[in-house]
Structure formats: C-alpha cells, structure tokens
C-alpha cells in the first residue's frame, strides 16, 4: 500500500470586525466553538478550531476583528491578530460582500507583501446579487493577488466545502500537531465564560457588552451535573444594576439561556451560579487584563 503524505498546518482567519470570521470557523469545523453576535468586537481572543481527517489536520484560528485600539484591551486583541499573521501556514482574509478595498487598513499592505499563501473569502453572499459578487471577486483578485478568492455564505454553510478543499490543497506536508480527537486548544472554563459573554452581547445595549467580562471561578464536573460559578465583571456600579435588572430579572434571563447553551455544548446538565462584580477600569489596566486571560 502506498503511503500518503500527511498534511497539517495553521490556517488563520483574520478580517475586519463583524464580517463573519467566527461564523466561518464554526462552519468549517462543524462545532460551535466561537461565539457569534450581530455586534462588532464579539471575539476577544484567538481561538483554535481543529479539523482532522485521516491524512490531514487543519488548525483554524479565529481572531478578533481588526480595529484601531481605543483601550488596552484592544491593543492586546490586536497582538493576537499580529501573531496570527506571523505564524500562519495559510491566511484566510475574510471580507463582507459589501466591503470595498480600504486603503487606510495597514493589514492589507502586509497581505500584499506576505509570502504566506493567501485565500480571500467573500462572505455574506446571500445578501448580494451574482453580478455584485463577480465584481468583488475581480476587485480582490486585483488588489491582493491571492491564491484564491472564494465566495461563501458562512451563515448558510454555502460553498464552505470548496474553501476546505482549497485549504487542504495548500497545507504543507507535516505530521499532526494535535491529537486527532481534539477540537480546540481552549478549556471548558473558557467556553463556559464565552457562552455567558455571548448572552450579555445579545441582551444588553450600548456600553454594557463592551464593559463586561466573565470569569469562571469554579468548574466542577460531577457524575450527573457540572457546577459552574461565574463572575460577571463590569466597570461601574450603575452597570451592575443594569446587568442584574429589576428584581434580578435580567440576570436570571441570561443565566437560563447560558445554562441551556452550556448543556448543549457540554452534553450534560449544568448548575450555573452567577455573581456580578465591579472591577473599575479593567479594560485599561494591564495587570487586570492579564488576570482575565488576556496575556500577550
């Protein structure tokens, strides 16, 4: 029997906020690893999603959307993007179908001169006509000269198979980096905190989602239940009141939704306890950020 070469590598997904990077990674891995909301800046970490086959392994990285930092937190988020640009075997640059070429975006210059194989993914094509999509394919081919421009609808899982095939063709020969059963580099605690953060992004407006973070301070897996204690951090007292809501109604609501999502994710009943704490200025203080898992 002829031995086939095993291929493996890091396919790093980058792009502006809200273009659908996380939706795409979930579609490509078939797992709900990254949280998704309609608000920009949902993703704050680099999250790996691993897809393995008999003779290949793709390690996708979802990353925060590229932005001009206004807080220390943003600066850390952008270091994750920089790292993803540096350590990629394949770069997947995601744009929305309505997005034009932004001369002001420094990352585009970097992509033009990068020697790493580049795939441009045009996402959300369900929102545009075929002519508009064809025009955008031409635009991105001209501007970035990538190996491929692939139009998809990550939301509808449309044409993501073609993207996977292109990624597989570009993978270098390499033994697997992770066990074939592994799906991610992240811990269960991390996913528990992300699920609560998603519910905060979905149910609160204005500054609240951006002023909040979630810490899991107990995660105990028993025979029939996982007991999770979460601390929701906000920056000010007034925000604490908003998170909790009248008579505790809002906190209860997101708690129920988060618990259900956790049960689906972990495949086991969850007992969830939530507390809210004021942590002034956590977004701007390096030591606090590091304690919250935003290490650079």
In the complex, minimum distance from the CB of residue 43 to Mg ion, in angstroms, rounded to a whole number: 3
Which among 64, 48, 54, 56 has a CA at the least distance from the CA of 7?
56
Q: Which residues contact 263 (CB under 8 A, 6 or more apart)?
A: 269, 270
3-state helix, strand, coil in the chain (%, to 5): 40, 25, 35
Q: Contact positions toward Mg ion, by CB under 5 A?
A: 21-22, 42-43
Q: Which does 159 bind (CB under 5 to 8 A by kind): Mg ion, ligand GTP, none?
A: none
In the complex, minimum distance from the CB of residue 27 to ligand GTP, in angstroms, rounded to a whole number: 8
Residue choice 12, 23, 52, 274 for contact with ligand GTP (CB under 6 A):
23
Residue choice 1, 2, 38, 249 for contact with ligand GTP (CB under 6 A):
38
Are the C-beta atoms of residues 282 and 235 closer than 8 Å to each other?
A: yes
Q: How far apart are CA 242 and CA 142, in angstroms?
A: 49
In the complex, minimum distance from the CB of residue 139 to ligand GTP, in angstroms, rounded to a whole number: 18
Using N-to-C axis directions, what is the helix angle for 72-86 and 106-113, rounded to 10°? 10
* # residues near ligand GTP by CB under 6 A: 23
* Sequence-ordered strand ranges (E) for 30-174: 47-52, 56-62, 90-96, 118-123, 148-151
Nearer of residues 39 and 227 to ligand GTP, judged by Cβ: 39
Nearer of residues 7 and 45 to ligand GTP, judged by Cβ: 45
Which among 203, 200, 187, 97 has a CA at the least distance from the CA of 150?
97
Nearer of residues 23 and 239 to ligand GTP, judged by Cβ: 23
Which residue's CB comes closest to ligand GTP?
A: 65
Residue choice 8, 11, 14, 19 for contact with ligand GTP (CB under 6 A):
19
**Part of the chain binding ligand GTP (CB under 6 A), chosen from 37-45, 128-136, 200-208, 223-231:** 37-45
Are the C-beta atoms of residues 119 and 147 closer than 8 Å to each other?
A: yes
Asked if 153 is part of the footprint of ligand GTP (rule: CB under 6 A), the reply reads yes
CB-based burial label for 38 (10 Å; 0-12, 13-18, 19+): exposed
Residue choice 154, 167, 234, 251 for contact with ligand GTP (CB under 6 A):
154
**Part of the chain binding ligand GTP (CB under 6 A), chosen from 85-93, 119-127, 160-168, 277-285:** 119-127
In the complex, minimum distance from the CB of residue 54 to Mg ion, in angstroms, rounded to a whole number: 30
Span 63-82, contacts to ligand GTP by CB under 6 A: 64-65
- CA distances to 26, 160, 197, 250, 253 from 246, rounded to whole Å, are 35, 44, 20, 7, 11
Nearer of residues 96 and 251 to ligand GTP, judged by Cβ: 96
Residues of this chain that bind ligand GTP (CB under 6 A): 17-23, 36-38, 40-43, 64-65, 123-124, 126-127, 153-155
């Amino acid at each position: 029997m002829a031995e086939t070469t095993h291929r493996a590598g890091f396919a790093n997904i980058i792009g502006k906020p809200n273009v659908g990077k996380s939706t795409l990674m979930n579609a490509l891995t078939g797992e709900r690893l990254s949280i998704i909301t309609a608000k920009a800046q949902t993703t704050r970490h680099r999250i790996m999603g691993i897809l393995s086959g008999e003779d290949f392994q793709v390690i996708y990285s979802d990353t925060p959307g590229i932005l001009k930092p206004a807080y220390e937190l943003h600066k850390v988020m952008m270091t994750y993007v920089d790292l993803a640009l540096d350590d990629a075997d394949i770069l997947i640059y995601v744009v929305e179908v309505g997005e034009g070429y932004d001369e002001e975006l420094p990352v585009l210059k970097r992509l033009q001169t990068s020697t790493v194989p580049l795939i441009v993914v045009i996402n959300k094509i369900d929102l545009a006509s075929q002519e508009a999509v064809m025009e955008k394919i031409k635009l991105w081919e001209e501007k970035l000269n990538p190996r491929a421009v692939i139009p998809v609808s990550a939301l509808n899982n449309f044409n993501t198979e073609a993207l996977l095939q292109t990624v597989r063709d570009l993978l270098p020969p390499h033994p697997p980096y992770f066990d074939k059963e592994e799906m991610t580099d992240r811990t269960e605690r991390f996913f528990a905190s992300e699920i609560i953060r998603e519910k905060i992004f979905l149910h609160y407006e204005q500054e609240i989602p951006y002023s909040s973070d979630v810490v899991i301070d107990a995660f105990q897996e028993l025979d029939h239940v996982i007991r999770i204690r979460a601390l929701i951090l906000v920056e000010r007292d007034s925000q604490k009141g908003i998170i909790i809501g009248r008579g505790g109604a809002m906190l209860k609501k997101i708690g129920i939704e988060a618990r259900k999502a956790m049960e689906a994710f972990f495949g086991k009943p969850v007992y969830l306890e939530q507390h809210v704490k004021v942590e002034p200025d956590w977004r701007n203080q390096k030591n606090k950020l590091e304690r919250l898992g935003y290490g650079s």
